[in-house]
Amino acid sequence: MAESDRFNSLHLQSLLDTARDKHGLIGLGAVVATPEDGIIALAVSGDRVRGGPAIQTDDAWHIGSNTKMLTALGWARLVEAGSARWGMTLAEIFEGEELHPGWQDVTIEEVLAHRSGVTPNPGVLWMTGAGRNGDPVRQQRERLVAGTLQKAPAGKRGEFDYSNLGYIIAGRAMEKEAGTGETYEQLMRRLVIGQAPEGAGAGFGFGPPGAIQGHRAGLFGGLKPVGTGPSADNVPAFASAGTVHINLAGHALLLLPFLEGPHSLPEAMRRKLLAPYPDAAADYALGWGVQTGKDGRPVYMHAGSNTMWLSQVVLLPETGAVIIINTNAAGIQADKAIRELTGQLMTRVESDLR
C-alpha cells in the first residue's frame, strides 16, 4: 500500500465532516493511535458551541463513563505501589466503618466489574440536593458511600448491573487505601497521569471542559448548549464514575499502554484489567466492555455520556490500535453517528494495520 493511501488525518477529516452533516451534529472529534507510531490520525469537525468558534484539535472533550477504565487503572497502580491489593473486600477497605453484612465479602473486582449488588445510581434526592450543596467533594463522596454501605444491597451480588454508584465507591476506596489524605482526583493525577507516557493526559481534568460545550435537546426541539457551569455535568462526587475531560491526543496516548508496545502497562496489570470478570464468558472486564470481533478475537469497547456529550473508545489488541470518537451532544443522531463512525474506522484501521 502506498504511503499516501494509508489512513491519515485527511481521511478521518472527510469521515467526520460527512457524519456531522448527515446527522446534524454540532461537533465531532476522533483520533486513531498505535503503540509504535503514536497518533496516526486526528481530526475535528464543527463548533465548540452551536454557531460559535470552531473546535480546535487540542480542545478537551468530556468522556463520561470512559473514566471508569482509568479509575480501575488507578486502583491497579495502588496495588503496584503496595498500598492496596486485588481481592480486598469492602470490609477490609472500610475497616472500622459501619457496613451492612451484605457488603462484607464483596471484593473490589466485583465493584469494578459491576457485580457487587450496588444500585446503578445514587437517589434523585441526593443528586439534586446533597450532591450539589457545595461541600468539598471528598466529604460528599465519603457521606454518600458510608450511607450506601450501611444499607442492605439492593441488587444481587454476582449479577451484572452497570453501576455509577459502584465506581463512586471505588473512588472512595482509593482514598482509603492510599492513606495519604489525597482525594480521588489528586490520586488520579499522580498515579495515572503522572505515570503515563509523555503527552498522555493532555487536557486532563474533571467536570465540564472550558472551551467546547455539551448540548442537550431543547424544549421545542433542536440542541441547546449547556454552558460550562455546575449544571453542565453530573455532581462532583461522580468523578470516579464519569466526569473526566481530556483532549483527543492526550486520551489516546493514555490508553495506548493497555496494548502491547513500548509503553505497555506491566503485563500482569494489563491482563488483570482486561480479563473478563468473573470468567471468560463475561462481556465486561474492569472498566472495559468485552466483545468478540469478526475474526473471533477480543475487542474492548466502552461508551461514556452525561446526556450532553457522547464518547466512544475502542481498543484493538490484535491489530494494535486505539480509536476514540467524541461528540458534544447526545441523543439518537449522536448515537447513530458514533456507531457508524466506529464501524467505518474499525474496518479501515484493521485493514491498514494487518
User: pLDDT (tens digit, 9 = 90+) per residue, 103-132?
Assistant: 999 999 999 999 999 999 999 888 888 778
pTM of the model: 0.97
DSSP string, 77-108: HHHHTTS--TT-BHHHHTTTS---GGGTT-BH
Buried b (16+ CB within 10 A) or exposed e, 66-96: bbbbbbbbbbbbbbeeebbeeebbbebbbee
Shared domain check, 315 and 291? yes
pLDDT digits (tens, 9 = 90+) for 160-214: 999 999 999 999 999 999 999 999 999 999 999 999 999 999 999 999 999 999 9
Shared domain check, 303 and 271? yes
**Cα separation values, 183 from 191, 200, 240, Å:** 12, 21, 11
**Domain of residue 169, CATH code:** 3.40.710.10
Per DSSP, the three-state class of 255 is: helix
Tell me how many degrees the CA angle 106-110-112 measures, rounded to the nearest 5: 130
* Domain-located, residue 30: yes
Shared domain check, 76 and 60? no
Shared domain check, 119 and 48? no
Buried b (16+ CB within 10 A) or exposed e, 164-198: bbbbbbbbbbbbbbbeeebbbbebbbebbbeebee
For residues 185 and 240, the answer to whether their CB atoms sit within 8 Å is: no
**Number of structural domains, the chain?**
2
CA atoms within 13 A on the CB side of 328: 34
pLDDT digits (tens, 9 = 90+) for 61-111: 999 999 999 999 999 999 999 999 999 999 999 999 999 999 999 999 999
* Domain-located, residue 205: no
Shared domain check, 177 and 135? yes
Please state the φ and ψ torsions of residue 68, each to the nearest 5 degrees. -60, -45
**Grid cell in block for residue 172:** 472512595
For residues 50 and 215, the answer to whether their CB atoms sit within 8 Å is: yes
Shared domain check, 305 and 270? yes
d(CA 353, CA 261): 15
What is the share, in percent, of the chain residues with pLDDT greater than 90?
Answer: 89
**Looking at the predicted structure, is the pLDDT value of residue 17 above 80?**
yes
**Which one has a higher pLDDT value, 238 or 129?**
238
* Domain-located, residue 21: yes
Q: For residue 166, what is the enclosing H or E element?
A: helix 164-178
Shared domain check, 181 and 142? yes
d(CA 153, CA 166): 11
Shared domain check, 90 and 59? no
Dump strand ranges (E) for the chain. Answer: 27-34, 38-46, 60-62, 205-206, 215-217, 223-225, 244-247, 289-292, 298-304, 310-316, 321-327
* Domain-located, residue 204: no
Shared domain check, 227 and 310? yes
d(CA 268, CA 174): 20
Buried b (16+ CB within 10 A) or exposed e, 205-237: bbbbbebbbbbbeeeeeebbbbebeeebbbbbb
The whole-number pLDDT of residue 4 equals 63
First vs last C-alpha separation in the chain: 11
Shared domain check, 154 and 43? no
d(CA 74, CA 194): 11
* Domain-located, residue 195: no
Shared domain check, 229 and 104? no
Shared domain check, 223 and 320? yes
For residues 199 and 254, the answer to whether their CB atoms sit within 8 Å is: no
* Domain-located, residue 194: no
The whole-number pLDDT of residue 3 equals 61
d(CA 324, CA 302): 10
* Domain-located, residue 203: no
Domain extent at residue 91: 70-187
**Looking at the predicted structure, is the pLDDT value of residue 152 above 80?**
yes
* Residues facing 34 on adjacent strands: 38
Tell me how many degrees the CA angle 301-264-109 measures, rounded to the nearest 5: 55
The whole-number pLDDT of residue 353 equals 83
Helices 9-23 and 332-353: crossing angle in degrees, nearest 10, is 160
* Domain-located, residue 125: yes
* 84-89: Cβ within 8 A, 24+ apart: 84/108, 84/173, 84/174, 84/177, 84/178, 86/272, 88/173, 88/177
